[in-house]
Amino acid sequence: MLVFWAAWCGPCRKEQPGLNALAARYATRGVRFYGIDMLDHDRALARAFVQEFKVSYPSLYDPSGTMAAAYEVDAPPSFVLVDQKGIVVGRYPGEASSAQLERLMNQKLAISSGAASASP
């Protein structure tokens, strides 16, 4: 799960505690969370966000917007679910509750595990 965020983004601040919980819960199912910090030119504010919310997963800085463009993300918050082959299998643009993200992940995990266990 790619989490596109910015320190000044109100919804990002609201969602972060739930994202930490989801990252921990889904780690046992092989789902990894990665933050993509976009539009935070003041790196001190970004570091303060990570510390304040005890962000539990790695976060990368996207200074030029290359990652955001590659994943067709216009603004934070946005969520992109990528499978093990690097294929985008789901996205949720805009503010999302933990329940909404959980439904997206559960749906995609069920599809991928069903496809993996299907016999040819």
Integer CA distances (angstroms), 38 to 51, 78, 85, in order: 17, 11, 24
As a whole number of angstroms, the distance between CA 120 and CA 116 comes to 10
Q: Is the pLDDT of residue 118 over 50?
A: no
Rounded mean pLDDT, 23-32: 94
pLDDT, averaged across the chain:
91
Q: What integer pLDDT is reported at residue 108 of this predicted model?
A: 85
Write the pLDDT tens digit of every residue in 58-99.
999 999 999 999 999 999 999 999 998 999 999 999 999 999
**pLDDT band at residue 112 under the 50/70/90 scheme:** low
Query: Which segments of 8-54 are extended strands (E)?
Result: 34-38
Weakest mean pLDDT among 27-31, 65-69, 115-119: 115-119
As a whole number of angstroms, the distance between CA 30 and CA 106 comes to 12
Q: Is the pLDDT of residue 119 over 60?
A: no
Helix (H, G, I), strand (E, B) or coil at 89: strand
Is 2-117 CATH 2.40.50.140? no
Q: What integer pLDDT is reported at residue 116 of this predicted model?
A: 47
**pLDDT band at residue 4 under the 50/70/90 scheme:** very high
Rounded mean pLDDT, 37-66: 95
**pLDDT band at residue 114 under the 50/70/90 scheme:** low
